[in-house]
Amino acid sequence: MRTKTSQYKRKIIKELCFENVVSANELSILIGKSLPLTMRMLSELVMEGIVKESGYALSTGGRRPLMYSLVSGKMFVISVAMDQLVTRIGLIDVQDFKIRELKKYNLNLYHQSNEVSKLIDCLTTFIEEIPIDKDKIVGIGIGMPGFVDAAKGINYSFLDNDGVSISTSVEGAIGLPVYVDNDSSLIALAEFKLGAVSNKKNALVINFGWGVGLGMIVNGELFRGNNGFAGEFSHIHLFENNKLCGCGKSGCLETEASMMVVLQMAKEAVKKGRVSLMKHIPDDLENAFSVIVDAVLKGDQLAVEVLSASAYNIGWGLAILIHILNPELIVISGRGAAFGKVLLAPMQQAVNKYCIPKLARYSQLAVSSFSNGAELIGAAALVIENYDNLHVKDALKINAT
């Protein structure tokens, strides 16, 4: 009975994480349990200091329901956002999904031999240095590029870990539940649960970064495909450019539309003497990205030009997706969302050119407000998605003191 009670509480906490402020009746419906049982669980959670009463809802003509929300500082998730060269580790309070601590580590995913052990070392150091007790951490979510089988915790593109589950290895070393997924899927999860595509049944989320990823919301659920490999948007063949892609093919969308392409075009133009605010583009990718973002937001002609070229090509790819999936909304998220609305005009231009007008008319383009934090938020959302099924010694893993 105690196990069931703990599971009911976890279900309530999970819904409060994503819904923020909810009435007892709404929670009863969300968790599929009776109102009296839900009320009893809420009362216990309030006494334990995990949940608080948050006033009454606005009047709709009847008695105003009492609303409930999580108490800040009681539950945290460690989120890991990995790209090919840099790993960011953040501490996220799931009461509001704000990033409380953030550190960067140089982990090169192209080095297959020992990066999992290095990731474990980074996580261990991070946990030791953050100013909260480990008992308040409910899990670790890890996002990374490549072909990721989330169910097995294996990445077939990076960190092969000798075929051993990455999540199992990290969990065994750190002692916390660990979940691993593709970075673009996690970005889509962040937008679906907490961002621009909340309450949308059919939407696409583009991860515009060093590559071009895709997350899909289909019939109100995150669609991962048969093995979790769905969404390899960047590898659709669009060009006869004789440019080799990282996947081994040539002419992929990624060869003409990614932040790496934007960076290369900018460097070549500056080297040839083009006038630009980007007089010196550093070799370090993180700093180079910041230089280009700053130049675009200041209206630098060259920066806008090279960015628009990639954005147009992404729009070309989007026209194909619109024909196939007929989405209500397409959100540009990930690192590239930092460029804001500058991205939309060239993308829309390509959609207008290549897409049947009747279909294009019903697919809106938008830019995420999460910017570079989307993957970290998505990794935290992944842990909370699984929170009511966590198998840990202490069913709640919360320090309620």
How confident is the model at residue 392, as a pLDDT?
44
Q: Torsions phi, psi of 316, nearest 5?
A: -60, -45
Place of tokens 């995913």: 109
Number of domains into which the chain is organized: 3
* Furthest C-alpha separation in the chain: 73
How confident is the model over 175-192, as pLDDT tens digits? 999 999 999 999 999 999
b/e map 346-368, b = 16+ CB within 10 Å = bbbebbeebbeeebbeebebbbb
How confident is the model at residue 224, as a pLDDT?
87
Percent of the chain whose predicted confidence (pLDDT) is above 90: 69
Q: Is 249 part of a structural domain of the chain? A: yes
Place of tokens 């961002």: 195
Most confident of 10-14, 225-229, 255-259, 313-317: 313-317
> For 233-250, what is the mean pLDDT?
89
How confident is the model at residue 114, as a pLDDT?
63
Place of tokens 């992944």: 382
Rounded-to-integer distance, Cα 350 and Cα 28, Å: 46
DSSP labels, 92-149:
EETTTTEEEEEEEE---TT--SSHHHHHHHHHHHHHHHSSS-GGGEEEEEEEESS-EE
How confident is the model at residue 400, as a pLDDT?
41
Residues 175 and 209 in one domain: no
How confident is the model at residue 3, as a pLDDT?
61
How confident is the model at residue 4, as a pLDDT?
61
Residues 254 and 303 in one domain: yes
Residues 164 and 202 in one domain: no
- Per the DSSP assignment, residues forming a β-bridge with 334 are none
Query: Is residue 220 left, alpha or beta, with left meaning phi > 0 and alpha meaning psi from -120 to 50?
Result: left
How confident is the model over 145-156, as pLDDT tens digits? 888 888 888 888
* Confidence tier at 84 by pLDDT (50, 70, 90): confident
pLDDT score of 397 more than 60: no
* Confidence tier at 394 by pLDDT (50, 70, 90): very low
Residues 122 and 263 in one domain: no
Rounded-to-integer distance, Cα 10 and Cα 396, Å: 7
pLDDT score of 112 more than 90: no
Residues 24 and 114 in one domain: no
Residues 210 and 344 in one domain: yes
* Confidence tier at 401 by pLDDT (50, 70, 90): very low
* Confidence tier at 113 by pLDDT (50, 70, 90): low
This model's pTM is above 0.85: yes
Instruction: Please give the residue range of the domain that contains residue 103.
Output: 76-187+376-389
Residues 173 and 230 in one domain: no
| CATH number of the domain where residue 332 is located | 3.30.420.40
How confident is the model at residue 163, as a pLDDT?
79
Q: Is 400 part of a structural domain of the chain? A: no
Token digits of residue 204: 């696409």
Residues 382 and 336 in one domain: no
How confident is the model over 277-317, as pLDDT tens digits? 998 888 888 889 999 999 999 999 999 999 999 999 999 99
Residues 362 and 277 in one domain: yes
How confident is the model over 202-240, as pLDDT tens digits? 999 999 988 899 999 999 999 988 877 888 898 999 989
